[in-house]
A and B are shown apart, each in its own frame.
Chain A
Amino acid sequence: DGGITQSPKYLFRKEGQNVTLSCEQNLNHDAMYWYRQDPGQGLRLIYYSQIVNDFQKGDIAEGYSVSREKKESFPLTVTSAQKNPTAFYLCASRARRGSNQPQHFGDGTRLSIL
């Protein structure tokens, strides 16, 4: 079945450590997104990519980095510069054509500080 796979489901980070969250999609979507969700809050956009080898900062990009070397993959690295990384991270993708196309989401990764 087509969909978005995020791994791992749970991740723990030590102080000063970089960690990478995986996001893979087989929907043949051009655009991919990373969001952060804090408890009791809506989602906030971290980074997005509309095409391979191109990505743009979202509203809260500081302390995060991404790459888009393949259409199917959009990994997110939470760097040690992100001082409050504990959150639920959601990856999404969307077919670029058509403004009414919804974003489809993965099941998320919960990141916690050890």
Chain B
Amino acid sequence: GAVVSQHPSRVICKSGTSVKIECRSLDFQATTMFWYRQFPKQSLMLMATSNEGSKATYEQGVEKDKFLINHASLTLSTLTVTSAHPEDSSFYICSAAGGRGLKTTEAFFGQGTRLTVV
């Protein structure tokens, strides 16, 4: 099946710094990537949808200036948490969909990134 790689898997950063998370589709071209956030023992909440070469569409309540999303190529999307604070600590997961090179347009998930802001 299609592989989506997310990096890093864990990151600890100091309050006030910025952290970049990468999401790569390794064996297919992802025209669309999604970023989700998962709070402890809760479900996944969609943060934003990004399409290659265009601005991301953010869900209501998600600060676009705080969570910067870039989808510069068909295989890479990045999420940058700017000026991170402890309340941003969470599990962030990306998924990629697109269909090019795939038999279906199913979305495939990365392994997730555990962000801890201290």
Q: Answer yes or no: do A and B interact.
A: no
B residues near A (Cβ < 8 Å) are: none
